[in-house]
Amino acid sequence: MALPFHLFNLVSWLLPARCHGIRCRLLRWCGAKVGANVCLNSNVLVYGSHVEIGHDTWVSSETTFSTGPKGTVRIGCCCDIGPGVKMISGSHVLGGPHRRAGAGFSQPIVIGDGCWVGACSVILGGVTLGDGCVVGAGALVLAGNYPPNVLLAGVPAKIKKELSPE
């Protein structure tokens, strides 16, 4: 299963920026679920096979999805993912002094409909963003369930403001 995604990563890197449709078709061929009218820009990288992207979503260049068997990355409809965003569903338990990165595990990442994830943000496994959330550029979003229509920012990201649902 990994070989098709390696092919996707190579082709994504080689294609001109505006070849969104080709990238979407190739990602579907690899086994990912990609909705209609999705724009995948150049250098979008996928590690793992558990990616779902809802319709009318924009994924900017240099975005990376790293998934695991229990760590699906699911992006809702009408979302905007800024450049350089990293969505990493896997991590490790803390190990002993000879190897601090202990046993690996993965948790899902769920981005609700209508969300905007700012440039260079990092979303870690176990995050669920409610519909209409905004993640400020450079934020580090740790595991947790975040309510709809909030602005998250900072390292680690905290709720800074409630946004109008209208």
pLDDT in tens, 90-147: 999 999 999 999 999 999 999 999 999 999 999 999 999 999 999 999 999 999 999 9
Cβ atoms 88, 105 nearer than 8 A: no
Residue with tokens 């969505």: 87
**Cβ neighbourhood burial of 145 (10 Å; 0-12, 13-18, 19+):** exposed
Specify the pTM.
0.93
- On the question of pLDDT at 13 being above 80, the answer is yes
The CATH superfamily holding the domain 50-162 is Hexapeptide repeat proteins (2.160.10.10)
pLDDT (average), residues 33-51: 93
Name, in order, each residue with C-beta under 8 angstroms of 8's C-beta and a sequence gap of 6 or more.
Answer: 23, 26, 27, 30, 46
- On the question of pLDDT at 165 being above 90, the answer is no
Q: What is the DSSP string of 64-86?
A: EEE-BTTB-EEE-TT-EE-TT-E
pLDDT (average), residues 17-42: 92
pLDDT (average), residues 6-12: 86
Taking the C-alpha atoms of residue 1 and residue 10, their distance in angstroms, rounded to an integer, is 15
The pLDDT value recorded for residue 163 is: 97
